[in-house]
Amino acid sequence: MALQDKYAQLLSAAQTHGVENLSVAEQNGVLHVSGTAKSTADYDALWALYSQIDPNMASGDLMMNIDVKAAAGAQLKVTTDSTNLNIRSTPSTEGEIVGKAAHNEIVTLIEKTDDSWWKVKTTQGEEGYAYAQYLSPI
Amino acid sequence: MKLTHITLATALFATAVFTSCKPKDSEIKANVETALKADMQMASTMVDVNDGKVTLSGECMDEACKAKCESTAAGVKGVKPPVINNLTVAAPMVTEPAPASTTTMLDDAAKQAVNDGLKDIKGITVDFTADKAVIKGEVTAANRMKIMQILASAKVQSDVSGLMEKK
């Protein structure tokens, strides 16, 4: 229970923000928190709290597996550092690059293929798989 | 009569062979620990060996894990039965249901997901231990958060003690 105390502020924020299917469990010295945040802003707020409670997030005692709610057709912003985001033929970096989306460009979600890769369509009509962590629902 | 001799000789020979290559307690302990570490749930089990007899202690998440630890230890070469199983089972978690992220296994797909996500972040190296991704290098605070988010979505635990702030 000690970890739930350490991250109590984060857990209560997750509830306040209405994270769906919120689930919390402690196992082998790691607190597992999962669920679906309603917006990218909520998601960012929870991660900011995490880095505040555990400076540099270096303790390795929290696995925060939270995604952001997004249905097919949702608009996603490309949140790369500054570079273009590759759009590929298959959900892997081994897939051929079939298109690119610029930093801050908006693309449309077709499906959440898995936790790491989402199928998207650019405004130019290019369709393929992009790495989900560089896409933020708006 | 002859048969008795042969049997006796075989028995003596076998004894000699088995005695000479009997693993030491320290080797047995290392082998049992290695076998248990193959499964994340069993990795924290404590192992004591005394003259080939193994005692397991520590905490398991459930009865199945406790039984598996015992059978895994019993299967290691040189372990004398029975294995003394002093493992305790943790009290069940109050919060339900169990999160999807508790089944983390560092398989090739998970490693691929981590590498795919981190390949565009400059200035870091990524290595894998049995159950963790080890990230080293220098990054900005924003990239540090990105790295942690990528690891979390890939459900991979990490060691970022060698990840420094970029000045």
| pLDDT tens figures, A7-37 | 999 999 999 999 999 999 888 888 999 999 9
Locate the chain B residue with the closest alpha carbon to A47: B145
Would you write out chain B's pLDDT as a tens digit for each of its 167 residues? 555 666 655 555 555 445 545 679 999 999 999 998 888 778 788 999 999 999 999 888 778 888 999 999 999 999 998 999 998 887 654 444 455 554 456 788 888 889 988 988 889 999 998 888 999 999 998 899 999 999 988 888 889 999 998 87
Give phi and psi for A134, each to the nearest 5.
Answer: -100, 15
Flag if B101 and A63 touch (Cβ within 8 Å): yes
Q: For chain A, which ranges sit under pLDDT 70?
A: 1
Which residue is it, tokens 């790369």?
A: A80
Is A25–B144 a contact, with Cβ atoms under 8 angstroms apart? Answer: no
**SS3 string of B101-159?**
HHHCCCCHHHHHHHHHHHCCCCCEEEEECCCEEEEEEEECHHHHHHHHHHHHHCCCEEE
A22: helix, strand or coil: strand
ipTM over 0.95: no
Chain B stretch 118-157, residues whose beta carbon is closer than 8 A to a beta carbon of chain A: 119-121, 132, 141-146, 148-150, 152-155, 157
Q: Kindly report the pTM of this predicted structure.
A: 0.62
Query: How many C-beta atoms surround the C-beta of residue B147 within 10 A?
Result: 25
Q: List, in sequence order, every residue forming a beta bridge with B88; answer none if it has no partner.
A: B59
